[in-house]
C-alpha cells in the first residue's frame, strides 16, 4: 500500500458489508456445521489494489522464464522419462484448481462472517489464475517437447481415464457435499495446507533435476498464493472449533480428508518423483524423505498437533499409518508397478527401470529389489510388441488388483484389503479407513446424528466396469489413445521412438479381453468370494519369473 | 592467537545435466507433429490461447466424462447439474467469452486500472484537488457514491462469486469469476477513495455512506433489489437479472448517467476516473453476458422457451429495478451544479436497456413504459 496503511485500508473495506434486512443471501450449499458462536476476523487483509499488480509481477516472471526456456532450448536437456508423467499430472491439476475457485462461494455461503468473505473471493481469482497458467504450461510442453501425443488430447483423456478419475477426487471433493467438509477441511485444511507441499514444491524440485525448470517456475508461483489460502482455511477451522457441536464432524472430516489425500496424492506424486526421475544421486531425497520433511514435520507436527490445544482430535493413527504405508508397505512402488502394468490404458509412455534405478531404490527402500526387481526386469523384457502380449496379459506373477471403491486407487497392499457388501453390492477397499469413509462417513447419518448435507459416493467408480469383457483393441480405440496414423498407440512401455517396429499398435492389442474385477467379484458365490478374498490378501504378488 | 580450524569443504551435490535431444522435431514418428489440443473445435481456424487454456478443463458427462460425477450432494447429483437453472441450452459449451479472459488478461487489465486510479488519486492529493469541492458535492459523494459501493461489493461477493459455482461450463465460470473480481476491485476503490477524502482537508463525512445505504430513502429500493438478487438461487436468472436488468436500469443510470455527467461540473475530476473504470468493467462484462443470452435465445431447440422464461424474469425484475431507479430521483437535485435531469438520465438508461435487449433478441417489457 502506498497511500494508506494496510490496516486502515482494510478497516475501510470492511465497511462495505452490511446486515441485510430485505432478504438474506440464498444458502445454495448446505452444511451440518454451525457457526453461531464463531469469532469473526479476517486473517488475510488482501486488498485488490495491491493484489493485481502483485500477481501481474509474478506473471511477468513466469512468462519471462517461459520465453527464456524456448530461446535456451530447454528441451534439449529435458528427460523424457520425466516429461511423460507430466502428460498425466498436467491433465489432472487444472481441474482441481478451477474446482477450488468453485468451492469458494460454498465457503462464503456456509460461513456467516463477512470479514472472511473478501479473502475467499480473492482465493477464487487465484484459482482461475492457477488453472489457466497450468493449461498454458502444458501447451508449451505440447509445442516444444519431442512427443506431443497425450498432451494433444489432454482434457479428453483426463475425463475418460482411470487415473484421471482418481485425480478427479482432488477437485470434485472440493465442490460437492457438505460445504465445510468440501471447501474447508478437504480443500484448504488438508489438501492445500499439507499436500500442496509435495505437489507444488517437492515435485517441481525434481523437475529441475530432470532438466525442466518451467514446472518449478510455474508451480512455485502458484504455491506463493497458497499461503493466503492456508490462512483462509485456518481461520474457518478456528471458527468451527468454537462450537462443540462441530467436533464430531471435524474429527470425521479430518480422518476422511487426510486419508483420501494420502491415498490419492502420495500415489501419484510419489510415483512421478520416484519413477519419473533420472537423478539417482544417493543424497537426493527420496519421496519418503520429502514426505517426512514436508508433510510429517511441516504439516503434522507444526500445524495439526498445535490444534490439539483447542480440543481438536487429530488422526495420529492415520498419519502414522500413511508413513507406514509409504516406508514399510511400499505404497508408492506398488502404485508405480500398477501404472506400468496398465501402460496400455495410459496416454503417456513409461520408461523401464535400469540397474542404476534398482540400486537407488534398494538404497532408499531396503528390500525393494526382492519385491519389485524381477517384475521390472520382466517389464523391460516385454517392452516391444511382436513376440509377447502387453505385460498385463502375460503371466509374470502379478495379480491385477481390485479397486478401492472409495479412493479408486487399487487395493495394492493386499493384506489390508477390505471386502464388504454395501448398498447391495460387493465392494473392495484398500484399507479400513476407505471402507469407513464409504460405509460410515459419506452417509446421511453419522454416529446417531443427522448429516443430510454430507456428500455421497456416486458414479461408475470402477473404471474397468465400463470396459468389461471387451477386446482391448476396441477399448483403446474407444478411449482415443491412438496416434495420428490411426494405429500406433499413444502409450508405450518404453521411450524409444526411433523404430516403428518397437511401437505397439492397435493390432497388437487384439485378442486380449479385458475383465472387470468388481463384476467378477459380484458374480461369485459366497464361498468363492470368501476364498478369493483370503487368497487375495495372502498373495505377496512377488514376481519370480 | 591460534588459527581457527578451517572446516573441510563440503562436497556439493547437484544433478547432472544431460543432453537428451528431446526437442520438437528431433525425430519423426506418428503424432510427432500433433501440436494442437484436438478435443474441441475452435471458433476460428486456429484455437486462441483463451480457448486452449479454458475449454474442457472442467469435465462434463455431455463431453468426455465416462465414469460420471464421482461425488454427489446429499440431495442430488454432483458437478454442475443443468437443472440448477430453468434456462436450457443444447450445448452450454458453445459459449466462449468475447473478452477471452484468462490468467494473463485478468492481471494485466486490472493492474493497469489500479495503476491508473492510483496515479489519479496521488495527483489529486498533490494538486489539492479536493480543496475546490463545494459542500453539497462533498456531501453528495459521501452519501451517494458511498452508498453505491455497498451495491458493488454485494454483487461481487454474493452474486457473481455465487454464479461461478453453479454455472455449467468452464468458459462461463471463468467469465463470471472475472466479473466478480471487477466488482470487488471497483467497490474497494470506491471505499479507498472515501478514505482518501476523509483524510483530506475537505469537510467530508467518511461514515455517511452507512446511513445512506442502510436507511436513506433514495437507496432503500436499490438495497432491496441487491439483497433480493443475493437471495436468488437460479444462477442464470441471477446473471440475467443483474447484468441485463439491474446494471442497465440502476447501475448505468447511477454511474454513467449521473456520476460521469455531473462530477466535472462540480469541480471533481477524480470521481469520473474511478467510476469510469467501473463503467469499463461493465462494458466488458456486458459483452460476455450479451453473447451468452444471445446463444440461449437463438438455441434451435430451446430458444423459444428461453425467450419466454427471460420474459418472466423481466416481469419479476424490471419493476423492482424501476422502483430502485425512481427512488434515486431526488439525488439528481442534490449537487450544486445540475447539468442533467433525472428524466434525461433515465430515458438514456431505458434506451440502452432496450438496445441490449434487442441485441440479445428480446422484446422490451411492457413494464418499462408504465
Minimal C-alpha gap between A501 and chain B (Å):
11
Among B37, B57, B111, select the one facing A152 at the smallest CB separation: B37
Q: Which residues of A touch B216 (CB under 8 A)?
A: none
CA A459, CA B70: separation in Å to the nearest integer?
A: 5
What CATH number does the domain containing B115 carry? 1.10.620.20
Q: Number of A:B CB contacts under 8 A?
A: 382
**Where are the extended beta strands (E) located within chain B?**
71-72
Whether residue B230 and residue A106 make contact (CB cut-off 8 A), yes or no, is: no
- Minimal-distance CA residue of chain A relative to B228: A23
CB-based contact A160 B31, cutoff 8 Å: no
Report whether B218 contacts B258 (CB < 8 A).
no
The answer to whether residue B325 is domain-embedded is yes
Query: Which pLDDT belongs to residue A226?
Result: 86
With CB atoms and an 8 Å threshold, state whether A52 touches B107: yes
Q: List the domain range (segments joined by +) for residue A83.
A: 52-465
Q: Which of A1, A50, A146, A404 to mutate to test the interface with B (most CBs of B within 10 A)?
A: A146
Contact indicator for B64, A160 with CB cutoff of 8 Å? yes
CATH of the domain at A316: 1.10.620.20
The count of domains in chain A is 1
Residue B336, judged by CB atoms within 10 A of its CB (0-12, 13-18, 19+), counts as middle
pLDDT score at A45: 72
Contact predicate A347/A157, CB 8 Å:
yes
Is B23's CB within 8 Å of A156's CB?
A: no
State pLDDT tens for residues B259-317.
Answer: 999 999 999 999 999 999 999 999 999 999 999 999 999 999 999 999 999 999 999 99
CB A48 to CB B189 under 8 A? yes
Task: Return all residues near A489 (Cβ < 8 A) that are at least 6 apart.
Answer: A344, A476, A481, A482, A483, A503, A504, A505, A506, A508, A509
Residues 377-436 of A with CB under 8 A from B: 408
Residues of chain B with pLDDT under 70: 1-6, 370
What single DSSP character describes residue B84? G
Cβ contacts of B9 within 8 Å, gap of 6 or more = none
Residue B182 lies in a domain: yes
> Distance (Å, rounded) from C-alpha A66 to C-alpha B292?
34
All three cell numbers of A198: 509435495
- Distance between CA B191 and CA A259 in Å, rounded? 44
Q: Which site among A459, A470, A503 would you substitute to test the B interface, given the most B Cβ atoms closer than 10 Å to its Cβ?
A: A459
Domain assignment of residue B219, given as a range = 101-369
pLDDT along chain A (545 residues), means of 10: 71 93 89 83 77 96 96 96 98 97 95 87 95 97 98 98 96 97 97 90 92 95 89 91 94 98 97 97 95 95 93 95 97 98 98 98 97 96 96 94 98 97 98 98 97 97 97 98 98 97 98 97 98 96 74
Cα distances from B230 to residues A435, B153, B253, in angstroms, run 40, 11, 21
What pLDDT sits at residue B12? Answer: 84
Look at the block and give the residue holding cell 454485494.
B154
> Is position B52 within any domain?
no
CB neighbours of residue A507 within 10 Å? 10
Measured between CB atoms, which of A53, A79, A128 is closest to B111? A53
ipTM for this prediction: 0.95
Q: How far is A274 from chain B (nearest CA, A)?
A: 15
CB-CB under 8 Å, B70 with A458: yes
Rounded Cα distance, B47 and B42, in Å: 5
Residue B162: C-alpha distances to residues A20, B172, B177, B300 (Å): 17, 12, 9, 29
Record the cell numbers describing residue A346, joined without a space: 495410459
The whole-angstrom separation of Cα B264 and Cα B344 is 18
Q: Give A484→chain B minimum CA distance, Å.
A: 5
| Residue B139: strand, helix, or coil | helix
Amino acid at each position: 500500500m502506498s497511500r494508506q496503511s494496510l490496516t486502515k485500508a482494510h478497516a475501510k473495506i470492511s465497511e462495505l458489508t452490511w446486515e441485510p434486512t430485505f432478504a438474506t443471501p440464498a444458502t445454495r450449499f448446505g452444511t451440518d456445521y454451525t457457526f453461531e458462536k464463531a469469532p469473526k476476523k479476517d486473517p488475510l487483509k488482501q486488498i485488490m489494489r495491491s493484489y493485481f499488480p502483485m500477481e501481474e509481477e509474478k506473471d511477468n516472471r513466469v512468462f519471462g522464464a517461459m520465453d527464456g526456456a524456448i530461446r535456451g532450448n530447454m528441451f534439449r536437456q529435458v528427460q523424457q522419462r520425466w516429461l511423460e508423467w507430466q502428460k498425466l499430472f498436467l491433465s489432472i491439476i487444472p481441474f482441481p484448481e478451477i474446482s477450488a475457485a468453485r468451492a469458494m462461494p460454498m465457503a462464503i455461503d456456509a460461513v456467516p462472517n463477512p470479514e472472511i468473505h473478501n479473502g475467499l473471493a480473492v482465493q477464487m481469482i487465484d484459482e482461475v489464475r492457477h488453472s489457466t497458467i497450468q493449461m498454458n504450461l502444458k501447451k508449451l510442453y505440447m509445442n516444444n517437447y519431442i512427443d506431443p501425443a497425450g498432451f494433444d488430447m489432454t482434457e479428453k483423456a483426463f475425463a475418460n481415464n482411470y487415473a484421471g478419475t482418481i485425480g478427479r477426487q482432488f477437485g470434485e471433493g472440493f465442490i460437492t457435499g457438505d460445504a465445510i467438509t468440501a471447501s474447508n477441511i478437504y480443500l484448504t485444511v488438508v489438501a492445500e495446507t499439507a499436500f500442496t507441499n509435495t505437489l507444488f514444491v517437492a515435485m517441481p524440485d525434481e523437475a529441475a533435476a530432470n532438466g525442466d525448470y518451467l514446472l518449478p517456475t510455474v508451480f512455485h508461483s502458484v504455491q506463493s498464493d497458497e499461503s493466503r489460502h492456508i490462512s483462509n482455511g485456518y481461520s474457518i477451522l478456528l471458527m468451527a472449533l468454537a462450537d462443540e457441536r462441530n467436533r464430531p464432524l471435524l474429527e470425521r472430516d479430518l480422518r476422511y480428508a487426510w486419508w483420501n489425500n494420502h491415498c490419492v496424492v502420495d500415489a501419484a506424486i510419489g510415483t512421478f518423483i520416484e519413477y519419473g526421475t533420472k537423478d539417482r544421486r544417493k543424497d537426493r531425497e527420496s519421496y519418503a524423505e520429502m514426505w517426512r520433511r514436508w508433510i510429517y514435520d511441516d504439516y503434522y507436527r507444526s500445524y495439526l498437533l498445535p490444534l490439539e490445544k483447542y480440543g481438536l482430535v487429530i488422526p495420529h493413527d492415520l498419519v502414522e499409518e500413511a508413513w507406514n504405508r509409504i516406508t514399510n508397505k511400499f505404497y508408492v512402488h506398488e502404485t508405480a508397478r500398477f501404472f506400468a502394468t496398465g501402460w496400455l490404458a495410459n496416454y503417456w509412455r513409461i520408461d523401464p527401470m535400469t540397474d542404476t534405478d534398482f540400486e537407488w531404490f534398494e538404497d532408499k527402500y531396503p528390500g525393494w529389489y526382492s519385491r519389485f526387481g524381477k517384475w521390472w526386469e520382466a517389464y523391460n523384457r516385454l517392452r516391444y510388441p511382436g513376440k509377447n502380449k502387453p505385460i498385463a496379459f502375460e503371466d509374470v506373477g502379478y495379480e491385477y488388483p481390485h479397486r478401492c471403491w472409495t479412493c479408486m486407487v487399487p487395493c495394492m497392499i493386499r493384506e489390508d484389503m477390505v471386502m464388504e457388501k454395501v448398498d447391495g453390492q460387493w465392494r473392495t477397499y484398500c484399507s479400513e479407513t476407505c471402507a469407513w469413509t464409504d460405509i460410515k462417513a459419506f452417509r446421511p447419518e453419522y454416529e446417531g446424528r443427522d448429516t443430510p448435507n454430507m456428500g455421497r459416493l456416486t458414479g461408475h467408480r470402477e473404471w474397468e466396469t465400463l470396459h468389461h469383457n471387451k477386446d482391448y483393441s476396441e477399448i483403446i480405440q474407444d478411449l482415443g489413445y491412438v496416434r495420428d496414423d490411426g494405429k500406433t498407440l499413444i502409450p508405450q512401455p518404453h521411450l524409444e521412438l526411433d523404430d516403428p517396429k518397437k511401437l505397439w499398435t492397435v493390432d497388437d492389442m487384439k485378442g486380449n479381453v479385458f475383465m472387470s474385477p468388481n463384476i467378477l467379484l459380484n458374480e461369485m458365490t459366497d464361498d468363492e468370494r470368501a476364498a478369493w478374498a483370503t487368497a487375495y490378501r495372502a498373495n505377496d504378488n512377488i514376481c519370480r519369473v | 592467537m591460534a588459527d581457527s580450524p578451517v572446516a573441510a569443504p563440503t562436497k556439493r551435490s547437484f544433478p547432472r545435466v544431460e543432453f537428451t535431444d528431446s526437442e520438437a522435431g528431433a525425430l519423426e514418428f506418428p503424432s510427432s507433429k500433433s501440436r494442437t489440443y484436438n478435443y474441441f473445435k475452435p471458433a476460428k481456424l486456429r484455437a486462441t490461447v483463451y480457448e486452449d487454456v479454458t475449454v474442457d478443463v472442467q469435465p462434463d458427462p455431455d463431453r468426455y466424462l465416462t465414469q460420471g460425477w464421482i461425488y454427489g450432494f446429499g440431495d442430488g447429483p454432483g458437478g454442475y447439474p443443468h437443472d440448477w437453472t430453468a434456462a436450457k441450452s443444447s450445448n452450454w459449451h458453445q459459449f466462449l467469452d468475447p473478452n477471452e479472459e484468462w490468467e494473463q488478461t485478468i492481471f494485466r487489465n486490472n493492474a493497469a486500472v489500479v495503476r491508473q486510479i492510483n496515479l489519479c488519486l496521488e495527483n489529486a492529493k498533490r494538486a489539492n484537488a479536493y480543496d475546490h469541492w463545494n459542500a453539497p458535492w462533498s456531501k453528495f459523494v459521501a452519501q451517494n457514491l458511498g452508498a453505491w459501493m455497498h451495491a458493488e461489493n454485494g454483487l461481487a461477493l454474493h452474486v457473481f462469486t455465487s454464479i461461478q459455482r453453479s454455472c455449467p461450463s468452464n468458459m462461463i465460470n471463468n467469465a463470471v469469476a472475472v466479473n466478480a473480481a471487477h466488482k470487488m476491485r471497483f467497490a474497494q476503490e470506491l471505499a479507498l477513495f472515501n478514505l482518501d477524502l476523509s483524510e483530506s482537508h475537505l469537510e467530508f463525512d467518511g461514515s455517511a455512506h452507512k446511513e445512506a445505504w442502510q436507511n436513506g430513502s433514495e437507496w432503500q429500493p436499490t438495497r432491496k433489489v441487491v439483497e433480493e438478487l443475493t437471495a436468488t438461487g437460479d444462477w442464470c436468472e441471477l446473471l440475467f437479472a443483474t447484468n441485463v436488468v439491474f446494471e442497465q436500469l440502476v447501475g448505468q443510470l447511477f454511474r454513467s448517467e449521473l456520476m460521469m455527467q455531473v462530477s466535472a461540473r462540480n469541480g471533481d475530476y477524480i470521481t469520473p476516473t474511478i467510476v469510469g473504470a467501473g463503467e469499463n468493467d461493465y462494458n466488458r462484462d456486458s459483452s460476455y453476458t450479451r453473447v451468452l443470452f444471445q446463444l440461449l435465445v437463438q438455441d434451435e431447440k430451446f430458444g423459444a422457451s428461453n425467450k419466454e422464461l427471460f420474459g418472466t424474469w423481466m416481469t419479476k425484475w424490471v419493476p423492482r429495478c424501476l422502483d430502485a431507479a425512481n427512488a434515486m430521483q431526488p439525488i439528481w437535485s442534490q449537487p450544486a451544479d445540475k447539468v442533467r435531469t433525472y428524466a434525461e438520465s433515465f430515458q438514456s438508461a431505458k434506451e440502452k436497456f432496450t438496445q441490449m435487449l434487442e441485441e440479445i433478441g428480446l422484446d422490451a417489457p411492457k413494464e418499462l413504459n408504465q
